Structure 1
Amino acid sequence: MKTLKKYAALSLFSIALLSCSNDDSHVAANKVTLAFTNTFGDQTIVLGDATSTTATAHTSAAGQLHHFSELKYVISNIRLIKNDGKEIPYHINNLDLGAAVINQAKASSLTYVLNDIPKGEYKQLKFGLGVRQDLNTLDEVKFPNFYALAGANDTEMMWEWGTGYRFTKIEGFYDTDHKELSIHTGSTIDKDDNGEIKQGVDAYRDITLDLPTIASVGKTAPTVVIQADFHHLLSGKINTITLQSGTGSEDNATPNVHTAVQMVKFVDNLGGNGINDVSGMFSVIEVKN
């Protein structure tokens, strides 16, 4: 009888241990990794100079051949949305802790880890392409790490003439004669009738992406694979753009005095117009739990 009781107690103990091992109630938080893949359609972008034979060449809806030699963009204001609709912000007011420069030439920049995300089931991801107006100042004191990341190295994600950051920086070449392509987006400043500085073009775009499968945070630390399809740069949901070189009001391939007017078309293609397009070039292609 004692032996039977001993085995029964051991069995109950084993079951209790198994139950504890399968129970993640003690898990308070875990990581979520955002993995960015930059493409032309289903082709991963390879950068190259004007005459490169290995760079990924792409043809726009307007029939223009183009490829990139540099590709960078800023993400910030990251939020994860739970199944019940609760929004979990990730250091949304701190560029040092909650913003990144995605740089196609730097593999390590293509993944961004969100730490200490509360346990739960997540159905949606939101983030900003660029920097919100209230944070878009070159503040080396308040956000020294992001300031250095965006401007003190080869990213050069700062306007030379303004006080804010570049949100997207694309360099490359187009047409068969390899004309220069230089597309920079970012919010601008302007002056009112009294000569006072005011907000000009607001190039920040808030991106909303539904997850194809639930991201379960707890015992697992999911990876969300995000595609940025730069086919949309010239062939977007909002605008079909034909590149033109020069300094006229319709010329858009390189910066000129009229760039801000033409820039909005690129901004709406990349980040959506915030009305009937809130995803722009972005989509979630996989959630790895």
Structure 2
Amino acid sequence: MKNATKYFALSILTLALVSCSSDDNKAVANKVTLEFANTFGDKPLVLGDANSTIATVNTSVEGQVHHFSEAKYVISNIRLVKNDGKEIPYHINDLDQGATVINQAKVSSLSYVLRDIPKGEYKQIKFGLGVRSDLNVLNEAKFPVFYAAAGANDTEMMWEWGTGYRFTKIEGFYEADHKTLSIHTGSTVEDDDTGALVQGVDAYRDVTLDLPVLAQVGKSSPRIVIKADFNALLSGKSNTITLSSGTGSEDNATPNVHTAVQMTKFVDNLGGNGTSDLSGMFSILEVKN
């Protein structure tokens, strides 16, 4: 009887250990949530029409008062960098699974969940503002989910002439008489000597951000809060821009007027110039482990 009791106790202990081991495996979290906080400086971005009394108003370094009625941008080519320097790509060649449109007017779009991230400590995040040139084709058959999201009525992140996606779309008003502010960025195409379309201005920008503390993927699911400070649109690290609404080559307030050269100034401010500035308007507010 004593032996039976011993065997019974041993069985219970073994079952408990197996159960604990199973629970530990279930506790391993492999999700990372990116939370985008759009601002003017330290003020949360609130959208509004020309006469809005609640829209967040910003003043550039050149003294131009402006506010937005629309603010959208594409995030893609996401990579997390481990503490040992190993880079973990997240569906970088699949726009359906690895790209999203951040839309300030759509609260659900401000969080983007990365799934099946390998367990470990992460020190850095990299992502693209826009779409890499090799993927920047309006291909509904290949990426139907992203194509539908980018083309939705509340998004409109496609060029009308069908050569690719818009990377950022900003609408608003500036100065006391509420002149129209309309900044659309995206890569351009042009004809080569044979008449074939080739890459023109590449508006895609690769952003690199160091995390203030390591993101611990494992027993927790980290949330990385990324600030996008739209003060950089006119008062960026690369360019100080004054908006003008004329029809000359230096005028830049609307997309039907500003040239690719003018557009590139906005691109460098928002996404960095790719050399001396790799962060543009983005920074890390916090990491929540």
CA–CA distance in 1 between the matches of 2:174 and 2:257?
21
Cα offset, 1:153, TM superposition = 2.9
**Residue type of the alignment partner of 1:256:** N
* Displacement after TM superposition at 1:260 (Å): 1.2
Separation (CA, whole Å) in 1 of partners of 2:107 and 2:154: 14
Map of 1:53-72 to 2, 5 A cutoff?
53-72=53-72
Cα distance in 2 for partners of 1:186, 1:33 equals: 26
Aligned to 2:255: 255
Please tell me whether the aligned partners of residues 237 and 269 of structure 1 are also in contact (alpha carbons under 8 angstroms). yes
Give how far 1:38 is off: 0.1
Give the partner amino acid of 1:87: E
Q: Does 1:163 align with 2:183?
A: no
Q: Which residue of 2 aligns with 1:96?
A: 96
Alignment-derived partner of residue 37 in structure 2? 37
- Displacement of 1:22 after TM fit? 12
Give the conservation status (yes or no) of the 8 Å contact 1:27–1:119: no
* 2:209 is the alignment partner of 1:226: no
What is the CA distance between 1:27 and its match in structure 2? 6.2
Q: Is the 8 A contact 1:73 1:101 kept in 2?
A: yes
**3-state SS in 2 of match to 1:117:** coil
The 1:52/1:257 distance shift into structure 2, 3 A limit, reads closer
1:15-59 CA distance string (max 9 Å, x none) = x85x95799577665100000000000000000000100000000
SS of 1:109's partner is: helix
* Distance (Å, rounded) in 2 between the aligned partners of 1:284 and 1:270: 15
Superposed CA offset, 1:190-249 (max 9, x none): 112332211011000000000000000011000000000001000000000000002210
Identity %: 77
Q: Secondary structure at the match of 2:77?
A: strand
Confirm whether residue 272 of structure 1 aligns to residue 262 of structure 2: no
Aligned position for 1:134? 134
Q: SS at the partner of 1:30?
A: coil
Aligned counterparts of 1:24 and 1:195: Cα–Cα separation in 2: 61
Partner of 2:191: 191
SS at match of 2:97: helix
CA contact 1:132–1:204 (8 Å) conserved in 2: yes
Distance 2:28 2:99 in 1: 24
Structure 1: gaps of 5 or more residues: none
Greater Cα shift, 258-267 or 95-104: 258-267
Which residue identity does 1:198 align to in structure 2? V
Name the SS for the 2:147 alignment partner: helix
The 8 Å contact of residues 167 and 185 in structure 1, kept in 2 or not, is answered as: yes
**C-alpha contact (below 8 Å) 1:162/1:189 kept by paired residues:** no
- CA deviations 1:84-126 (Å, max 9, x no partner) are 1111110000000000000000000000000110100000000
Alpha-carbon distance, 1:264 to partner = 0.2
**1:241-286 CA deviation, whole Å, 9 max, x = no partner?**
0000022100000023542110000000000011010000000110
Name whichever of 248-257 and 21-30 sits farther off: 21-30
Deviation digits for residues 66-92 of structure 1 (CA, Å, limit 9, x no counterpart): 000000000000000000111111000
- Structure 2 counterpart SS, 1:134: coil
Moved >3 Å (runs of 4+): 19-29
Q: Contact between 2:71 and 2:104, CA under 8 Å: does it hold in 1?
A: yes
Q: Distance in 1 between matches of 2:162 and 2:67?
A: 28
Give the aligned length: 282
The residue aligned with 2:122 is 122
Q: Greater shift after overlay, 190-199 or 116-125? A: 190-199
Q: Which runs of 5+ in 2 are unaligned?
A: none
Whole-angstrom distance in 2 between the partners of 1:259 and 1:75:
24
- Structure 2 residue matching 1:121: 3-state secondary structure: strand
Shift of 1:61: 0.5
Q: Which amino acid aligns with 2:283?
A: S
Match of 1:78 in 2: 78
